[in-house]
Amino acid sequence: MKQIKRRSAVFAAFLLLLICIIPTISAFGEKAVGQQITFGSYPQTQVTDSAVLTRLDALEKSWVSYGYYSGTGEPLDGRMTAGDFMKYADLTLDGARYRAVTFSTFRPARTGGTHAEDSAQAQNGYRTNDIYYFRFDPLTWRVLDPDTGLMLCERIIDAQPYQATVYSDGSTSWQSADASVYANDYAASSLRRWLNHDFLQTAFSAEERSQLQSTVLENDGYNSAYRSAPTEDSVFLLSWSDALNSAYGFSTSTVANFGREAAGTDYARCQGLNVQTNGNAWWWLRSAGDKSHAACSVSDDGHLYYSYYVYNTDEGIRPAICVPGADAAGAAASSNAKGSNVGAAAFRFLPVIAVGLAAIGLALVIVGLTRQKKNRT
């Protein structure tokens, strides 16, 4: 009977050893395509708690204009101008960050458009002259390339035009009146500037920005006539070829693909994201399209298109970044949103705990075997 108990104890210790070793190996393993990682933070979830809203309303606000464009209603006449009709104010309450948003008129769906009452903002349930609050939440990224650290933002986090100013001479569209740069030139686009200034400064702390790898990108267009110069940026958009790369988890076909579908945050909806009936939205690629006024994009069902107007403001943004060597623990733990480090910290110590338990299990196995040997002798 004693031998049976000892053998049972040895077997149990051996199982404990296996249970501890397996997650330890996984924890020390490399990132995998499709793995989700949190890094940085951005205004995303709308605040609905009445008590929190009351406290946020009471805070003093320093309003900053988004500088969004509107015009005469003609998208190609070059007469669009930046205005102060939509503003934001960043706030802190109990250590958590929030962004207040208000607008006196609706944001036009085109940079040269007028303030129509049937805008996407209205369709999304937002009204003029009200104040809305959005909590800074950790940004979730999908690993596309574990070797380079290439990651795509899992959700659509904002809505912006590819190019804010567009001038047409009747046959060709340009970014400026001197007709020197095509309207769909990514290297010179207003969206590239927004990604590497507004978004970069808002989403990442100084420490996090230091972890971003500046990435050299080729910017071939769907139509080779509109190829843009290579760029080197910390934040960027995927290209047409990226969105067809099976190694990234995407379909190699341009037809609808679940892997390319994305939904927008509350904040993106407030910015004027055009949400479709399935709850998803379109999002920009950086590749120029088939004409000088067009760029490539991904539809709500993951279909690839090459002729979306660059001046549309209701198109979604899914930034991409490279964080070499980052893993689920390290990247998640660096997020600057309150409360985002708790799970990451626990995950970071998981390998240490697992190794300790594995050592205990191994010791129990050795002790059990030693006792069995002594009993036989």
Residue 263 CA to residue 119 CA, distance in Å, equals: 19
The distance of Cα 208 from the centroid of its chain, to the nearest Å, equals: 15
**The one-letter amino acid at 93:** L
What per-residue confidence (pLDDT) applies to 53?
Answer: 98
DSSP 102-133: EESSPPPSBTT----TT-HHHHTT--TT--EE
Mean pLDDT of 308-316: 97
- Predicted local confidence at residue 363, as pLDDT: 53
pLDDT digits (tens, 9 = 90+) for 196-205: 999 999 999 9
What pLDDT is recorded for position 184? 98
pLDDT tier at 328, thresholds 50, 70, 90: very low
Residue 47 carries which DSSP code? P
Q: Work out the average pLDDT over 325-348.
A: 41
pTM of the model: 0.81
Residue 155: what pLDDT? 98
Q: What average pLDDT does this structure show over 249-258? A: 98
Structure tokens at 164: 């804010």
Give the count of beta carbons closer than 10 Å to the beta carbon of residue 201: 11
| Confidence band of 117 (pLDDT split at 50, 70, 90) | confident
Which residues contact residue 288 at a Cβ distance below 8 angstroms, ignoring those fewer than 6 apart? 182, 184, 185, 186, 219, 221, 222, 223, 226, 227, 228, 294, 295, 296
On average, the pLDDT of the chain sits at 85
Structure confidence by residue, pLDDT tens digits, 279-306: 999 999 999 999 999 999 999 999 999 9
User: And the tokens for 117?
Assistant: 């009452």
Helix ranges (H only) for 165-224 are 190-194, 200-203, 206-211
305 Cβ contact list (under 8 Å, min separation 6):
296, 297, 298, 299
Percent of the chain with pLDDT over 70: 78
pLDDT over threshold 70, residue 317: yes
Q: Which of 58, 135, 60 lies closest to 98, judged by CA?
A: 135
Flag whether pLDDT at 124 surpasses 90: yes
In whole angstroms, give the CA distance from residue 52 to residue 47: 8
Q: Which pLDDT band, with edges at 50, 70 and 90, does 360 fall under?
A: low
3-state helix, strand, coil in the chain (%, to 5): 30, 25, 40
* pLDDT of 357: 53
Q: What is the average pLDDT across 157-181?
A: 96
Band of the pLDDT at 359, cuts 50, 70, 90? low
d(CA 234, CA 177): 29
Question: 341-376 and 2-28 helices cross at what angle (nearest 10)?
Answer: 150
SS3 call for 243? helix
pLDDT at 349 over 60: no
Residue 219: is its pLDDT beyond 70? yes
> pLDDT digit string (tens) for 1-50?
545 445 554 444 444 444 444 443 343 345 799 999 999 999 999 999 99
Taking a C-beta distance cutoff of 8 angstroms, is the pair 303, 193 a contact?
Answer: no
CB 298 within 8 A of CB 253: no
b vs e for 152-190, b when ≥16 Cβ sit within 10 Å of the residue's Cβ?
bbbbbbbbbbbbbbbbbeeeebbbeeeeebbbbbbebbb
Is residue 102 within 8 A of residue 58, CB to CB? The reply is no
118 pLDDT band, cuts 50/70/90, is: confident
In this predicted structure, what is the pLDDT of residue 181? Answer: 97
- Count how many residues are written for the chain: 377
pLDDT at 354 over 80: no
- Tell me the three state secondary structure of residue 149: coil
pLDDT at site 330: 44
Q: Give the model's pLDDT for residue 288.
A: 98
